Amino acid sequence: MEETKQEVVSLPRLGDDAPRFTAETTQGVINFPDDYKGQWVILFSHPADFTPVCTSEFMTFASMQDEFKELNTELVGLSVDGLYSHIAWLRTIKEKIEYKGMKDIEVNFPLIEDITMEVSKKYGMIQPGESNTKAVRAVFIVDPAGKIRTMIYYPLSMGRNFDELKRAIIALQTADAFSVATPADWRPGDDVIVPTAGSCGTAKDRMEGKEGEMKCYDWFFCTKPLAKEEVFQKIRK
């Protein structure tokens, strides 16, 4: 029996330059990521227009757009549907859909037309185990230098957690701005993790409490307070 060859899905990697593309969108032509230099971007895909999970997600993204802008973060959506389908769907959302208190929602961020699947394939959004013709729910967080900093993939059936997407942006920006790491379930105002001691002397000083407000659970695991106000003062636009 002849074996069916499974298409190999090529995924970008964390720290890679975001794959470049030029695309038609509901907001005109964009050149990605060049048009977004100096800004963070959430590039996300969805399976199809006029579908319920995607509609709930687009309404949520649009309702949070100003919150992301305050964090110097732009939104860019994608599906393999055509431009006219996108426009009709977004108009339907604005004129007809009310969901969880959201109504008259206007989507002002670009939604990419990707009928050829060129962009979807560059970013590994077409995964044959889920669908050969629809993009999975992928999320790429791209930093101001055009580097991929976070990737999250969801199956077609599951909507995204938008609090987590916003938390991820804040955590990445905090790590960059303060040269720290963020522990499990970190929220602004929680303690942050300081870099591991680079010498025996530093480790000893930390364990003996000689480095200020730092709290050490062991030589390799130390935290320090970082006020919520200080975080947002530094990262908000």
Angle at 210 between CA 207 and CA 212, to 5 degrees: 110
Residue 193's DSSP bridge partners are: 181, 223
Residue 44 CB neighbours (<10 A): 24
Q: What's the rounded Cα separation, in Å, for the pair 157 and 128?
A: 15
Q: What's the rounded Cα separation, in Å, for the pair 218 and 66?
A: 41
Q: Is 216 a catalytic residue?
A: no
The encoded tokens of residue 94 equal 């604005």
CA 147 to chain centre: 12
Catalytic residue among 54, 200, 216, 222: 54
The answer to whether the annotation marks 91 as part of a ligand binding site is: no
Find out whether 40 and 72 touch, Cβ atoms under 8 Å: yes
Residues annotated within the binding site are 137
| Residues known to be catalytic | 54
Question: Residue ranges for the binding site for substrate?
Answer: 137
